[in-house]
Chains A and B, each alone.
Chain A
Amino acid sequence: MPGLEDLYREIILDHYRSPRNRGELPPPAHKAEGHNPLCGDEITVFVQVDGDLVSDVKVSGQGCSISQSSASMMSQAIKGKSLDEVRALVHRFKVMMSIEEDGDDADTPAVKLGDLEALQGVVKFPVRIKCATLAWNTLVEALEA
């Protein structure tokens, strides 16, 4: 069994204890609610899009250390990025979670996961992948809303 230290990395616990970009944004910010029906975790993602740019993002809701830290790191990572970069980041994250294939698409902007790589260990705990991806799926829904 992989050790818990693979899962609960210090940077994850830091984001869990002090989540960044907590709160809400008023309309016309995009908004979507996500639920993890297995465990009852709930998350709401607010995204302010100005032109092609994600100018602000806020996250509210409750959840476990993995879902909350993933949301917090995601909010930092996408703020100020272009929509194409955000989509590329979503893809890179899901590749890391082993739920999307790594395709060679020349049009995709190069993006770095940075701190988010701390969540890599989640893959060794398959039941927690849903926790890690909750915020990301909700982000995609918000952008489509």
Chain B
Amino acid sequence: MSHSVDWSAVKADFPVLQRRIDGQRLVYLDSANTSQKPNSVIDTMADFMRHGYAPINRSAYRLAGEATDAFEGARTKVQRFINAPGAHEVVFTKNATESLNLIAATWGRANLRRGDVVVLTHMEHHANIVPWHMLAAERGIELRWIPLTAQGELDLSDLDRLLKGAKVVSFTAMSNVLGTITPVAALCKAAHDAGALAIVDACQYVPHNITDVQAWDADFVTFSSHKMVGPSGIGVLWGRESLLDAMPPFLGGGNMIADVKLDGFTCAELPAKFEAGTPPIVEAVGLGAAVDYLANIGMANVRQHEMHLTSYALDTLTNRYGDDITIHGPRNPEVRGAVLSFAFRDIHPHDISQVLDEKNVCVRAGHHCAKPLMRLLGANATARASFYIYNDESDADALADALDGASDIFGL
């Protein structure tokens, strides 16, 4: 359902954006890195700590029962948000990085042998590369890479050959560098047709789009709370019940066991099996509030807003700077999110971000934890502006204006 959204009211919900530094407003364009937090998330977490905090799942008193309800209620909110079949398939982790490591370390160790093939793409974040490298070093698995087109989309022309004999296809739903949105459902189907599992790194996707893990027909989906207006310190692994049930546990300790004896242990049911130790209780409650906040806006509206901003920013920057600016990734906003990595007049990205900071324009400069992709782009760093629900056209204008300052200093 689409309803009209007052985006200036959305912006006003984020108190940090009211802050002024050196008398100037803050132009936060680093949400692909991490997002800002609305009052509702901040207040929910503070209220919970003031009035409702207690251990979960292990005490009889009422306060603990309420805390458990708040914690498990957040799980149910996440389940609905991504249309997962069951809340018990939603595992709380530290972040998407830990979720991906969990899959490689448990399902991977239990199922992959020397010579088995894991297919990744050339636009993966290090979080979806290094765990597989670690497994390759331990197990001798083979990694294959889906290449990119010149436009920064996945080149699927040779997919059948790449997927032949593969056990896993693990890929991003949206590139954190190029903004490219990948054809997730088609890739899941191709993986299954080849007899492989489909793992979706949806860390950049879930905060900005309608996510339906069943429509994707994915096997595992991972994402982080902190990129979707929730707190840092909590992430999600969704997996098919049958897969999660068959996997060995990840970390051992309290909460994840059914029984412990001197000669061994048995695991708890899902999801506790993968949640050893006291979990991020306050953070889960905060994530629940974040999901409520986004659902209230409506993810179709979020996507529409960001597509408009992407087009506006692309047009503004290219109209103003022409060949002096190179923006990586697809030009078509239908297949890209609001992430703009760019090179500008041979000025190093670090210097660009320094100059932009003088105008309180916050962008990321660096390799974005995607060094294989950076090598492909022929850059060792880019500047990256990323937009979210609290950004508007004036933020894109501020970016364009502030770039002029870089030219002045470097005399280019």
Contacts and interface: CB of A to CB of B under 8 A. Distances in A.
A64 B228 CA distance: 31
Nearest to B380: A40
A40 B371 contact: yes
Nearest to A13: B410
Interface string A14-43: 000000000000000000000000111110
Given A4-B358, A64-B349, A64-B350, A40 B381 contact: yes
Given A8-B409, A40-B380, A62-B380, 15 more contacts: A1-B22, A1-B358, A4-B354, A4-B355, A4-B409, A39-B365, A39-B367, A41-B350, A41-B381, A63-B348, A63-B380, A64-B349, A64-B350, A65-B351, A125-B354
18 contacts: A4-B354, A4-B358, A7-B354, A13-B411, A39-B349, A39-B350, A40-B374, A40-B380, A42-B380, A63-B380, A64-B348, A64-B351, A65-B348, A65-B350, A65-B351, A66-B350, A66-B351, A131-B350
Q: Summarize A's interface: helix, strand, loop or mixed.
A: mixed
Q: Which of A38, A41, A64, A131 has the most CB of B within 10 A?
A: A64
B21 interface: yes
B65 interface: no
A128 interface: yes
Interface of B: 21-22, 348-351, 354-355, 358, 365-367, 371, 374, 380-381, 405, 409-411
Give the 4 A-B residue pairs with the shortest CB-CB distance, closest first: A64-B350, A40-B367, A64-B348, A39-B366
Nearest to B360: A1
Contacts of B367: 39-40
A130 B348 CA distance: 15
Nearest to B367: A40
A62 B346 CA distance: 12
A56 to B, nearest CB: 26
Contacts of B358: 1, 4
B366 A128 contact: no
Contacts of A38: 366
